[in-house]
A and B are shown apart, each in its own frame.
Chain A
Amino acid sequence: MTGLPARFACGPLDVEVMASEPVLQARLGGPLGIYDQRWPDPRRSVKIVAAGTEKPAPRVKGTFLTCSRMVVDRIGGDLVGVTQSGACGTGHLGPTGECWHIAVPRRLLEFEDLDELEDLIGLALTTGWRRAGWVPVHAAAVANGPRVALLCSESGGGKSTLTASMLRHGWRTLGDDKLLLREGERGTPELGSLLSTFNLDPRTREWMPEIGTLDHLPRYSAWTDKRRVQAAVIWSDAVIPRGQPTHLVELLRVDRPGVRTTLLPPADVLSVLLRQVVLPGDVATTKPMLACLANTAGRLTGVRMEVGTDAYCNTDVAGILGRALA
């Protein structure tokens, strides 16, 4: 193992990483280091131990989860995830935390072909968050006084852009992409913020000149031109740690100019929310998640927002949504 373990605070989790080689330690730490919102104690413990291996990965079918680069099964009391290239993460689920053993084929280490480790880290984090009582939600959230709106769309659907637009008009945010949700006291839903960075397209500058040029900033991933931006650099005090959601916005891109908002029927609120969450194919895991999502959806007012071509250049998008959420 390399010297001291690296430690990361990822929302309600304390994550400790020990790897056999520096390159492995660095690649595992990358996706963990983005979580910069400090949560109060106590936090749940997650240990990740990684090393190279010559052994082949076990056969896994994807009954718990099937992702584009990883399949996951529950085997006995463990979760076992195997990536396309054969890296394997085995999570032992203990009462106070989890311990993950990640085995990386030596040929991947040799060529530093380690992108898929991010998938195993995502599995370890989402497992820990769920077991800490939180539901990971792939959505943005903006807040203004008592109003807290979840902004829902698929990847690339405009959550970050709309969030930036709302911040420009005095709203605050809990994040533009990754949130945690739970049922708080008396069943009141509660959102937790995980990170204070934004993933913005450099072209946002065309209608929001105050963000300046983003070209020099690190890319969010190899698959997109978006850049990772510290929210506080542009809007001081923009990120809030917690909020109680009151609204849900289904964000749709349409191929016509302008912006249109309509009320979303209550049944559709739950349907939209379900599509923002990864629900594993395991009853014991999914049942409490569904209960939390159903309870939350029942308390939210839904709005469908259609954002057309060049809307941000020509329309007061934030003002329109602000009035719809009034």
Chain B
Amino acid sequence: MSTSESINVTILPGTDPTGGAPIDETRVPSRWGIVFARFRRQKLALLGFVIIILLFLLAFVGPYFAKYDYTQHDFSAFLDPPSSKHWFGTTQTGGDLYALTLRGMQKSLIIGLLVAVISTGTAAIVGSFAGYFGGWTDRILMWWVDLLLVLPSFLITAILSPTFRGKTWLFFVVILAAFLWMVTARIVRGMTISLREREYVLAARFMGVKGYRVILRHVLPNISSLLIIDATINVSAAIISESGLSYFGFGIQPPDVSLGTLIADATTDATTYPWLFYFPAGMLVLIVLCVNLIGDGLRDALDPQSGGSH
């Protein structure tokens, strides 16, 4: 996507369009400059952004300040409530919940980001190519979409994840992303079909611009608000499905932990030993909430027609 596609480039008096030093006051703000300025005005989104940075710091720097590692067990403290020794309390086996929760947060944050980028990118490319080119391209790509939608994703992930026990969790990221992009690809295809007949797309086509360039320069920027909102929803969707699969024991495998496995361990004791449930569940909800707030702020900032910018 080219960032030089600035809107309303009018040549103002005082600038020399053929070169020379541009005068500062008359500089036309770039599209992303406007988007950034609008985003800064979204208070909730900014708050979400700040909190997510803090959560990142907590997850990755926090463990250095902890007295215990997530693999350690304190055999003098089973099911202790939060104290100065164990900030978040301890689990049934004497594990330090603070260290465990941070470890789970690391997993959730990274998995969420990776899965979202992969799946939204795939959806945008597959959907727009299918919609723009039509014909056999469309048929073959949509057949793949249908096939992947039809394949029982939960079952396949559930059966495959335990076989990756002890290996890298990146397999898990790929599996999650592979089953997340299809519905968006269908939506993108639908929107591309209606964009294909617009005058500016036709004009570009008749001027001999290659198909993939039309898609990159005209189709995708026009659905960018959908893609960005989809990517943010995918971050939270990935985090939620990661923790959900882990909740059933089909995701992150022991001895590693995820927020999902921590919540699963807490389920039966949630009413008697509430900290087991409140800390991991609270962090999980906080992460997803912040991601969603950022997504909505971006949406309002990106849509040039939304009335809130002035």
Are A and B associated in one complex? no
